[in-house]
Amino acid sequence: MVVKELEQSVKQYGQLGLKESNRGIVDAFNVAISMISAGESRLELIQPLGEGNVQNFLEKNGEGLHHIAFAVEDIEKKLSELSEAGVELIDKTPRDGFGGHKIAFIHPKEFSGVLVELVEE
Amino acid sequence: MVVKELEQSVKQYGQLGLKESNRGIVDAFNVAISMISAGESRLELIQPLGEGNVQNFLEKNGEGLHHIAFAVEDIEKKLSELSEAGVELIDKTPRDGFGGHKIAFIHPKEFSGVLVELVEE
């Protein structure tokens, strides 16, 4: 989710009994991120820190859902398989995401308008 | 996720190795729904079958992310707690959702622009 201000959003999810597990900055995306644990899943709250894609999203759409992510064991292998199957990738090779994980985005046209991220765990 | 056509979207998630667990119609919302298993989480693909909120969403926004849902043990109790804490609910009492579960929606202003659903499991 793209949010205006992490602290406020973390409090909101606290109303459902959900707790922040970690927080940090990803310079490459110019964002601050808070991860909220929800069972084996995580909610990723993303606050733009200045110019970039996330700030553009916020200005255009307001706060809200931005993308979903799936854990994969071997991201290079998965990207290679998807590419061979003709799936349009935004990132043909992984880049560094939050927490030092390798990540890659797939074009939303491949998933009915939903931006999909793969995260190597 | 709101999608135009379930069959195509189910195939797309199949590219990630994710499989449909069940499918059905919810008359009250005028939609067909496909649930895709992803670990302990589920992706809910929602196709409008005619007039209604979901068709309006699709016409306005196109395909994409629509809401997130959390499982709760006792939905009446949770709604009562949230209401007492001043949280604005869309559904003050639960209604019937997919698979016969009791569900309720919370106003997106309470979660930084994200429409949140509670589902009694």
In Å, how far is A55's CA from the nearest CA of chain B?
15
In Å, how far is B78's CA from the nearest CA of chain A?
8
A16/B contact by beta carbon, under 8 A: yes
Give the three-state DSSP class for B15: coil
Strand order from edge to edge, sheet including A41-48: A19-26, A31-38, A41-48
- Render pLDDT for B52-76 as a digit per residue (tens, 0 to 9): 999 999 999 999 999 999 999 999 9
A84/B contact by beta carbon, under 8 A: no
Residue B64: list chain A partners with CB under 8 A.
65, 108, 112-114
Contact B64 A112 (CB under 8 A): yes
In Å, how far is A113's CA from the nearest CA of chain B?
5
Contact A112 B4 (CB under 8 A): yes
Confidence of residue A27 (pLDDT cuts 50, 70, 90): very high
Confidence of residue A10 (pLDDT cuts 50, 70, 90): very high
B87 DSSP 8-state letter: P
The predicted structure's pLDDT at residue B21: 97
ipTM, 2 dp: 0.94
> Beta-carbon neighbour count of residue A96 at 10 Å?
13
Confidence of residue A119 (pLDDT cuts 50, 70, 90): very high
Query: What are the angstrom distances between the C-alpha of B5 and each of A13, A60, B28?
Result: 32, 27, 19
- pTM of the full structure: 0.95
A40/B contact by beta carbon, under 8 A: yes
The predicted structure's pLDDT at residue A35: 97
CA nearest to B102, candidates B82, B77, B84 = B77
Question: B104 pairs with which residues across the strands?
Answer: B118
Q: Which residues of chain B have pLDDT under 70?
A: none
Out of B13, B82, B114, closest to residue A65 by CB: B114
Q: What is the mean pLDDT of residues A68-86?
A: 97
Q: Which residue has the higher pLDDT, A1 or B100?
A: A1
Question: B36 pairs with which residues across the strands?
Answer: B20, B43
